[in-house]
Amino acid sequence: MEMPKEINRYCPKCNKKTKQKIIQVKTGRKRGALTKGARRFESKKKGYGGFPRPKPEKSKKWGVKLTKKLDLRYQCNECGKMNVRKKGFRVKKFQLVKK
């Protein structure tokens, strides 16, 4: 998928449409304590087989995902404020192209 390096978009800080630079950010690792449900799941994972869920390699339902979701940020050229795209999307190839 190709996307332009700059795009006209609404900036909430400037309160108008401005040219914004698109930046692709690598998603970071999870930090801090796990939630209660995640801790419970981790404790149940110990033991025999794929309990409580089948292992991803052995089941089509829990198939391994081939791509990661993109994390795109938009930086306003006027004020420098960065805005995050709300929903990430999966794509195998991603390129920023100068148009």
Whole-model pTM over 0.95? no
Q: Indicate the length of the chain as a whole number.
A: 99
Q: What is the domain partition of the chain in residue ranges?
A: 2-97
The dihedrals phi and psi of 37, each to the nearest 5 degrees, come to -65, -40
The dihedrals phi and psi of 76, each to the nearest 5 degrees, come to -70, 135
Higher pLDDT, 63 or 44: 44
- 30-45 pLDDT, tens digit per residue, is 776 778 888 887 777 7
CA atoms within 13 A on the CB side of 84: 9
CATH topology of domain 2-97: Nuclear Transport Factor 2; Chain: A, (3.10.450)
- 84-94 pLDDT, tens digit per residue, is 888 888 899 99
SS3 48: coil
- 3-62 pLDDT, tens digit per residue, is 999 999 999 999 999 999 999 987 777 776 778 888 887 777 776 665 666 666 666 666
